[in-house]
Amino acid sequence: IPAAGTAFSYPISSLVAGRLGTGQVQTAPLMVRYPDTAYAAHGNYAVEYDLVLPLQNTSDRPQTVRLALQTPIKFDAPASGLRFFAEPPNRIFFRGSVRLRFRDDQGTPQSRIIHLVQRQGQQGDDLVRLTLQPQEIRWVQFTMLYPPDATPPQVLTIETLADPLSRP
């Protein structure tokens, strides 16, 4: 997990001129492009993501971690972090469901399907929030089928909260 008070994000769908400073294009190449369509703005429609995240708290104190799918503002140049609108415009960029499997803080297996609707430049709400004990490893499985009407970019963010006892 990242250090307390920090986060890291994995691009799920980034594109030409929208690599979020990573230099990576996470969009499959087009086989055919029609003249009146955007260049490689299709994301990864219908690609299934089945990610298993081994969250490990290597510190000597409990750490609270949150996992979120986010739709940041598109940018290309290197930057110090993702950017979001304070009030996202009324343009839907992502509409789809994700599945999470994990053990909660009491050790009970959980399986959740969450339907998300995100606007351009919107920070994601918590998909799951877990408090890991010192030296604990907890696995979280994130599964999603990238929706065919989504507009990139999207990222999967893991954040370690500065105050491990903070709750919304």
Instruction: Read off the CATH number of the domain in which 20 is found.
Output: 2.60.120
State residue 39's pLDDT score: 58
Domain-embedded: residue 137: yes
Domain-embedded: residue 85: yes
Residue 155: C-alpha distances to residues 26, 70, 83, 133, 149 (Å): 10, 5, 12, 26, 16
Q: Given pLDDT bands bounded at 50, 70 and 90, which one contains residue 5?
A: very high
The percentage of the chain sitting over the pLDDT mark of 70, rounded to a whole number, equals 76
Please state, as a whole number, how many other Cβ atoms lie within 10 Å of the Cβ of residue 157: 19
State residue 120's pLDDT score: 92
Residue 83 structural domain: 7-27+42-160
Retrieve residue 135's tokens: 């030296």
- Residue 113 phi, psi (nearest 5): -115, 125
Mean pLDDT of the chain: 85
The mean pLDDT of 83-92, rounded to a whole number, is: 92
Q: Given pLDDT bands bounded at 50, 70 and 90, which one contains residue 104?
A: very high
Answer yes or no: is pLDDT of 52 > 70.
yes
Among the listed ranges 6-10, 99-103, 155-159, which one has the minimum average pLDDT value? 6-10
Helix (H, G, I), strand (E, B) or coil at 19: coil
Task: Determine the Cα–Cα distance for residues 143 and 56; give it in Å rounded to an integer.
Answer: 20
The pTM (predicted TM-score) of the whole model is 0.82
Domain-embedded: residue 99: yes
Domain-embedded: residue 22: yes
Domain-embedded: residue 80: yes
Q: Given pLDDT bands bounded at 50, 70 and 90, which one contains residue 81?
A: confident
Domain-embedded: residue 2: no
